[in-house]
Chains A and B, each alone.
Chain A
């Protein structure tokens, strides 16, 4: 499982303040903690409060890559902010994200190619959020087709089915999980799959339990990657155990420690 740590995000109070005050230490601490807990990549998002994302994004990129060479997941809905992050990045990158809208894909896919970046495609469009599995698949196919047409390597594409809060869209959960499996058979080579996990528990009272239950089910459906909070130890334990049950690692009594030693 390719784990993207979600905590460097300006919407969190400590990170928002650190961005504002240019407090490198706070950001770097957050980066290293996530890596120590198993993050393979770090999401970087200036947050909605950032007034100058074009400057904040490169500053965050530079700050984080001072302490790690892990992949940076540049998270913004504005292609210009992503471009500014890519230009500053020495580490490998993952663009988070393009939608299935032509005007976004026409900007971001060439940008991903130019910087040899991986790319997350979320199955959403200007028409709104998909309401069922078929709409998700249609949007996914649109993204895959656009990548193929622009000769972007499909194995570097991560499709995100868009996770909705369980208390908002309970009827859609099964469709979301099944989409993960079906995205994989859109093309050969297969695209990869990812999702922003925490959204599933947004507004609920038992967030951690819902997160880890959903993640376990998503892993069983073939999920390749997730954007999550790696500091949630129970979540990580559930993930490691789910992968164990799928025979991805060999069991031993200390399999949790063994996984973390990797």
Chain B
């Protein structure tokens, strides 16, 4: 006799966040992506609906990265010196569905570009690059609070995903995102209590929970991956059980973490494997948007997603 599958029925659903706006929606994006929208745990296709596949976004910086490993530097080559060429390479050559633009050059230690310069750059970027865009600051709170409002306004109507708001620094981000029609990344330090609290603080300012993407902060393989995994799983279980304040899709900065591992730095091929395994593990705990660095790793992960979803 065949053993019947034990299927859970969940009352909750993860909100759907769209990144990118088409021309008729007031933007210039050719193919907006949707993330989230599932009402079951990852990859349990028989249990519920998983309308959207996880999306891989490649990272692009406004300045040449200083701390990237040899392997990453050599794969992009000269393109790293020109953000537009870099982005075009990602889109045309590596078929990136989405990009994550990091405004590292606005950091006081890495060029200290002014908010006006950054905004001008974002406008130019959007006029050339037509894929959905995640825009993040340099991580310097004071500078981000000046740069992000300018860049958010420059990207008005493009429905970008903008970050990263933290518990100590979210008000300026939320006000900008709210005014300019974007969605926000809410970042918490591998801490489900803070993730929940931040979502509440953000929604209290009037930005709906449906426009929040949680950055749970992750650790790479060997560096706390399982801790991040369990936090994401716990948040997802709560969300599916009906906790709307945690029912947001997840963005995971996989490339950034994976390439910090000494195992990744030691050997390029190993680095690609490190980034790939970190990403595929997180997909199983519910990652919806993976920000990656190495095109080969991104390609392997995209292939993995297609294999899982196109059964």
A: which residues have CB within 8 A of B? 249-254, 257-258, 261-262
Are B194 and A252 in contact (CB-based, < 8 A)?
yes
Report which residue of A249, A250, A251, A257 has the largest number of chain B beta carbons within 10 angstroms of its beta carbon: A250
Are B243 and A250 in contact (CB-based, < 8 A)?
yes
Report which residue of B193, B196, B246 has the largest number of chain A beta carbons within 10 angstroms of its beta carbon: B196
Question: What are the interface flags for B45-86 relative to A under an 8 Å C-beta threshold, 1 for contact and 0 otherwise?
Answer: 000000000000000000000000000000000000000000
Interface size of B by CB at 8 A reads: 16
A254 to B245, CA, bound (A): 11
Which of A249, A254, A257 is within 8 Å of B238, CB to CB?
Answer: A249
Are A249 and B243 in contact (CB-based, < 8 A)?
yes
Q: Tell me which residues across on chain A come within 8 A of B171, comparing CB atoms.
A: none
Which of B194, B197, B200, B238 is within 8 Å of A261, CB to CB?
Answer: B200
A249 to B12, CA, bound (A): 14
B: which residues have CB within 8 A of A? 192-194, 196-197, 200-201, 203, 234-235, 238, 242-246
Are B200 and A257 in contact (CB-based, < 8 A)?
yes
Q: Tell me which residues across on chain B come within 8 A of A253, comparing CB atoms.
A: 193, 197
Say what secondary structure dominates the interface of chain B.
helix
A-B contact pairs, 12 of them (CB 8 A): A249-B243, A250-B193, A250-B196, A250-B234, A251-B193, A252-B197, A253-B197, A258-B196, A258-B200, A262-B242, A262-B243, A262-B244
Are A261 and B244 in contact (CB-based, < 8 A)?
yes
Q: Tell me which residues across on chain B come within 8 A of A262, comparing CB atoms.
A: 242-244
Q: Which residue of B is nearest A255, CB measured?
A: B196
Q: Tell me which residues across on chain B come within 8 A of A252, comparing CB atoms.
A: 193-194, 196-197, 200, 245
B197 to chain A, nearest CB (A): 4
Q: Tell me which residues across on chain B come within 8 A of A257, comparing CB atoms.
A: 200
A253 to B201, CA, bound (A): 10
Q: Which residue of A is nearest B200, CB measured?
A: A254
B198 to chain A, nearest CB (A): 8
Are B193 and A261 in contact (CB-based, < 8 A)?
no
A253 to B194, CA, bound (A): 8
Q: Which residue of A is nearest B203, CB measured?
A: A261
Q: Tell me which residues across on chain B come within 8 A of A251, comparing CB atoms.
A: 193, 196
Q: Tell me which residues across on chain B come within 8 A of A261, comparing CB atoms.
A: 200, 203, 244-245
B3 to chain A, nearest CB (A): 20
Say what secondary structure dominates the interface of chain A.
loop
Are B244 and A250 in contact (CB-based, < 8 A)?
no
A254 to B203, CA, bound (A): 12
Query: Apart from A254-B200, A257-B200, what 14 extra A-B contacts exist at CB < 8 Å?
Result: A249-B238, A250-B192, A251-B196, A252-B193, A252-B245, A254-B197, A258-B196, A258-B243, A258-B245, A261-B200, A261-B244, A261-B245, A262-B243, A262-B244
Q: Tell me which residues across on chain A come within 8 A of B243, comparing CB atoms.
A: 249-250, 258, 262
Q: Which residue of B is nearest A249, CB measured?
A: B243
Q: Tell me which residues across on chain A come within 8 A of B197, comparing CB atoms.
A: 252-254
B74 to chain A, nearest CB (A): 44
**Closest 3 pairs between A and B when the two form their complex, measured CB to CB:** A252-B196, A252-B197, A254-B200
A19 to chain B, nearest CB (A): 35
Report which residue of A252, A254, A262 has the largest number of chain B beta carbons within 10 angstroms of its beta carbon: A252
A250 to B231, CA, bound (A): 11
A262 to B199, CA, bound (A): 13
B210 to chain A, nearest CB (A): 13
B200 to chain A, nearest CB (A): 5
A262 to B200, CA, bound (A): 11
Are B246 and A250 in contact (CB-based, < 8 A)?
yes
Q: Which residue of A is nearest B191, CB measured?
A: A252
Q: Tell me which residues across on chain A come within 8 A of B200, comparing CB atoms.
A: 252, 254, 257-258, 261
A234 to B219, CA, bound (A): 41
Q: Tell me which residues across on chain A come within 8 A of B244, comparing CB atoms.
A: 261-262
A250 to B242, CA, bound (A): 11
Q: Tell me which residues across on chain A come within 8 A of B234, comparing CB atoms.
A: 250
Q: Tell me which residues across on chain A come within 8 A of B201, comparing CB atoms.
A: 254
B186 to chain A, nearest CB (A): 12
Q: Which residue of A is nearest B235, CB measured?
A: A250
A250 to B247, CA, bound (A): 12
Q: Tell me which residues across on chain A come within 8 A of B235, comparing CB atoms.
A: 250
Q: Which residue of B is nearest A250, CB measured?
A: B238
A252 to B243, CA, bound (A): 12
Q: Which residue of B is nearest A253, CB measured?
A: B197
B9 to chain A, nearest CB (A): 14
B168 to chain A, nearest CB (A): 13
